[in-house]
């Protein structure tokens, strides 16, 4: 059975490099039989957080927010693609994520970080792990850390050179770890309703 996986990406920069990793992940997860969909914060264009989705009366949330809430609720798992800005995650991704809360609960999440340098966004990924856990997701232990991104993936999200080969080798474990937890969460939800 195909898992519905949302790949969330949050850079608003004009020359976005992380979109390469987001596209690579959508392609790789799809090739493994999943229904993967890119959720691009810049494309969705939610405003800076004022009111969370749950703070709107039913049927009154902005259309983009309502649509995304439905996608999050129906997803089996999530992959968050985070760049590193001054040791932290991108504000666009954090803003998109913060508009929701209960919608995220009781599903697994995986983190793929990137940067232009050799640290591959790992400091952002570590911070993001705590954030996602606080928001009710189970964060899988396998991560992807890509850097320098321009030497790992070309403009179409295809692996290049030795760095791309390393990414290809790491992706299998990353995807398998996420699949295992996705199946475990599905089985548990079918057996017993979440406690809240």
Q: pTM for the complete prediction?
A: 0.96
Q: What is the pLDDT of residue 195?
A: 87
Quick one: tokens of 118? 């050799």
Contact 32, 105 (CB under 8 A): no
Find residue 143's DSSP bridge partners: 111
| Domain map (residue ranges) of the chain | 4-191
CATH architecture of 4-191: 3-Layer(aba) Sandwich (3.40)
| Listed residue (98, 108, 134, 118) closest to 186, CA to CA | 108
Rounded Cα–Cα distance for residues 27 and 169 (Å)? 15
Q: Which element (helix H / strand E) includes 8? A: strand 4-9
> What residue ranges of the chain have pLDDT lower than 70?
1
Rounded Cα–Cα distance for residues 58 and 195 (Å)? 23
- 76-93 pLDDT, tens digit per residue, is 999 999 998 888 889 999
- 135-157 pLDDT, tens digit per residue, is 999 999 999 999 899 999 999 99
């Amino acid at each position: 059975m195909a898992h519905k996986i949302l790949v969330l990406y949050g850079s608003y920069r004009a020359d976005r490099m992380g979109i390469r990793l987001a596209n690579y992940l959508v392609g790789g997860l799809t090739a493994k039989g999943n229904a993967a969909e890119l959720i691009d914060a810049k494309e969705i264009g939610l405003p800076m957080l004022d009111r969370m989705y749950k703070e709107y009366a039913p049927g009154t949330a902005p259309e983009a927010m309502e649509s995304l809430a439905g996608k999050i609720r129906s997803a089996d798992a999530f992959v968050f693609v985070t760049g590193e800005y001054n040791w932290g995650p991108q504000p666009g991704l954090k803003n998109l994520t913060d508009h929701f809360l209960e919608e995220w609960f009781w599903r697994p999440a995986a983190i793929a970080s990137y940067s232009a340098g050799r640290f591959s966004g790992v400091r952002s990924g570590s911070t993001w792990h705590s954030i996602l856990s606080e928001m009710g997701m189970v964060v899988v232990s396998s991560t992807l850390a890509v850097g320098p991104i321009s030497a790992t993936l070309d403009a179409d999200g295809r692996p290049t050179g030795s760095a791309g080969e390393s990414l290809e080798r790491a992706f299998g474990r990353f995807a398998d770890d996420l699949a295992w937890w996705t199946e475990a969460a599905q089985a548990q939800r079918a057996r017993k309703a979440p406690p809240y």
